[in-house]
């Protein structure tokens, strides 16, 4: 791909917009597509003329950009963008590379990869971890699934948004690992939130308790980076929505169903996050699982 060729980018939401800005900082020209005019205006603000252009449909993106990045909320939206009216698929041709950087169902990712291959194009999965803050900084953790050739082609672009990608295996494997990773994170966050509630009920100093966790075997990423700054203060500002965590847990559930593995811990997390979303709504921060647990306890009294 010539250095002057535009990158296609579809999806300028909470993650897509800062990821697009990272690419611009690295000198990329973007051909973007998003139905939200406010998101388009935000991306175009302050950039040099001609650096960012916008397409009306995904097909229009593929007509000009051979490298297309998708930053979309779920597999349903990805399928619509690829296969729906004005979608990518009919416009794909040999040499096209489509990279799904959202959190999608692995089976759907494999299906769309087969459809793209039928047009001579490559389809990779490259989900990210780190939230909005790391998307802004360009320090996301990136997983990458697919064949060696397309992955090698994608890596220089992905490095402009985060750390060197971790190769996970065939297409779909990165989405599976991302979902399982987020399940492990959710389980750690749940345990930490419950433990903080119990420590508080005992009259313990929860800040000191957090220090104990982080100096001991109970530490995890939630205790190290979220408890003092966001949970104990009630700020709840990690930048990852409760509903998105629930979606990732449902994706992990799909992995469990595909493998036939009985995962009772996962079932517990799925149930609690579903309750929390029903109570608090999907758009609050995922750390509000702590607030939900407190409310749940009060309601049970």
Give the chain's length.
301
User: Hey, how many other C-beta atoms are within 10 angstroms of the C-beta on 72?
Assistant: 24
pLDDT at 213: 98
pLDDT at 4: 65
Q: What is the pLDDT of residues 219-244, one digit of tens each?
A: 999 999 999 999 999 999 988 899 99
Which helix H or strand E contains 16, and what residues bound it? helix 16-25
Domain with CATH 1.10.1040.10 in the chain: 176-300
Q: What is the pLDDT of residues 13-67, one digit of tens each?
A: 999 999 999 999 999 999 999 999 999 999 999 999 889 999 999 999 999 999 9
Q: Which parts of the chain register pLDDT below 50?
A: 1-3
Name residues whose C-beta falls within 8 Å of residue 52's C-beta, 6 or more positions apart in sequence.
Answer: 24, 29, 30, 32, 43, 44
Residue 105: strand, helix, or coil:
coil
pLDDT at 190: 97
What does pTM read for this prediction?
Answer: 0.92
Q: How far is residue 269's CA from residue 157's CA, in Å, rounded to a whole number?
A: 35
In the block, tokens 């459809």 appear at 115
- Identify the DSSP state of 119: T
Q: Which of 178, 226, 228, 247 is catalytic?
A: 178
Q: Any catalytic annotation for residue 178?
A: yes
Domain 7-170 top-level CATH class: alpha beta
Beta strands (DSSP E) in 146-248 are 166-169
Domain 176-300 top-level CATH class: mainly alpha
Residues in a beta bridge with 69: 9, 99
């Amino acid at each position: 791909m010539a250095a002057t060729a535009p990158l296609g980018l579809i999806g300028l939401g909470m993650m897509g917009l800062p990821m697009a800005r990272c690419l611009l900082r690295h000198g990329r020209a973007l051909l973007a597509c998003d139905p939200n005019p406010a998101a388009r205006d935000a991306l175009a603000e302050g950039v040099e003329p001609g650096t960012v252009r916008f397409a009306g449909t995904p097909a229009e993106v593929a007509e000009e950009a051979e490298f297309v990045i998708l930053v979309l909320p779920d597999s349903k939206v990805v399928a619509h963008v690829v296969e729906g009216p004005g979608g990518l698929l009919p416009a794909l041709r040999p040499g096209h590379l489509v990279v799904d950087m959202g959190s999608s169902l692995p089976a759907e990712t494999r299906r769309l990869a087969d459809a793209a291959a039928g047009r001579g194009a490559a389809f990779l999965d490259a989900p990210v971890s780190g939230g909005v803050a790391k998307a802004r900084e360009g320090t996301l953790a990136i997983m990458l699934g697919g064949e060696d050739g397309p992955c090698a082609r994608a890596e220089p672009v992905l490095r402009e948004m985060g750390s060197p990608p971790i190769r996970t295996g065939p297409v779909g494997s990165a989405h599976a690992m991302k979902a399982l990773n987020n399940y492990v994170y959710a389980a750690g966050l749940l345990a930490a939130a419950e433990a903080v509630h119990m420590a508080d009920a005992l009259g313990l100093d929860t800040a000191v308790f957090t220090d104990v966790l982080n100096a001991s075997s109970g530490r995890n990423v939630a205790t190290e980076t979220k408890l003092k700054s966001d949970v104990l203060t009630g700020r709840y500002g990690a930048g990852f929505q409760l509903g998105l965590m629930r979606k990732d847990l449902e994706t992990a559930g799909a992995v469990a169903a595909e493998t036939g593995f009985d995962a009772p811990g996962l079932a517990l997390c799925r149930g609690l996050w579903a309750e929390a979303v029903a109570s608090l709504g999907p758009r609050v921060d995922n750390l509000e699982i702590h607030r939900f647990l407190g409310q749940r306890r009060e309601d049970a009294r």
